[in-house]
Amino acid sequence: MYTVALSEMIKEFNLVLLASNVDTSDSLLTHPDINRPALQLAGFYDYFDADRIQIIGLVEYTYLQKMSVEERCGTLRRLLSHQVSCMVLCRGLAPFPEMIDFAEEFKVPLLGSPDSTTDFMGEVIRWLKVHLAPRITLHGVLVDIYGEGVLIMGESGIGKSETALELIKRGHRFVADDAVEVKRVSHQTLIGSCPELIRYFIELRGIGIIDVKQMFGVESIKATQSIDLIIKLEFWDKKKKYDRLGLREEFLDILGNNIVCHSIPIRPGRNTAIICESAAINHRQKKMGYNAAKILNERVISNMTVE
């Protein structure tokens, strides 16, 4: 289970602490989803997940406002006694006095936001999905090539870092070398980044460590990048049959997401950087609906039919 400090969310969204006697310094968020406790305010607690952030919008606030003080106290006590991770009032709504009292009693962070409920929910969910996403660290190099995130993998010493360096010189942007931290932010999207300790550094055998940011400028680097394509470099094997048409795509499973993967044989004379660049362009064309291999195959079949 991954966590993110509540204090980071408070800072990110400029939230106001409405219950000043509640300490938020050690509070952690563990769930990427949120909840608007409309059913809970009506007394229905089946399947209630207290780990989620509880959002009070205009609808919930108006419902509470129409209650008598005694009813509101009972409803809020019941809700906050579940030790929810935190409660946020949107639209700049002022908390009820009893809401503050119960928040302090049960040590529940009570926060306020001036944003509309829908806007705040959308941004918080997006932010939590990234910070609490399942993750893994892979050995490889991540480069942004024409907007396509290309993860270059292979054995140590096969030339991944040298390929990345050539791509940087050709105007593409470098993300990570050696260790790539991959997060699954959705069932379709993987986001790659570099550990802070080695960010923007590349190791070149025989030369040592170089700083890409200092050597090539800020336009040559990128903090994060979606992973759209995987290039697996491997030493040339005469006995192995390599795909020469590309009609069938291979995939590599990473955290449950299938990413298109090309195995590229390496031997003297092959320009790996240009191959990676061409693979990225070809992958982008396929996403736009143009598949060169299929068109050539259709032409060949058509020609055979005519003859």
Query: Which residue of the set 115, 144, 177, 178 is catalytic?
Result: 178
Among 160, 232, 262, 283, the one annotated catalytic: 160
- Chain length of the chain: 307
Distance CA(247)–CA(250), nearest Å, equals 10
Q: Which of 11, 126, 139, 169 is catalytic?
A: 139
Alpha-helical regions (H) of the chain: 6-12, 38-41, 58-65, 69-80, 97-105, 117-131, 160-169, 212-216, 272-287, 292-306
Q: Which residues contact 10 (CB under 8 A, 6 or more apart)?
A: 17, 24, 111
Task: Give Cα 41 distance to the centre of its chain.
Answer: 33
- Among residues 239, 240, 244, 267, the one annotated as catalytic is 244
Q: What is the layout of strands, in order, in the sheet containing 190-193?
A: 224-226, 190-193, 173-184, 135-145, 148-154, 229-235, 257-266, 250-254
Q: Is 139 one of the annotated active-site residues of the chain?
A: yes
Q: Is 160 a catalytic residue?
A: yes
Annotation marks residue 46 as catalytic: no
Q: Which residue has the tokens 């190791």?
A: 203
Task: From residue 108, give the alpha-carbon distance in Å to each of 18, 24, 77, 197.
Answer: 11, 9, 11, 35
**Would you list the DSSP string of 87-99?**
EEE-TTPPPPHHH
Closest to 131 measured CA to CA, from 1, 26, 254, 222: 1
Tell me whether residue 244 is one of the annotated catalytic residues. yes
Q: Cα–Cα distance between 62 and 46 in angstroms, integer? A: 23
Catalytic residues, by residue number, are 139, 160, 178, 244
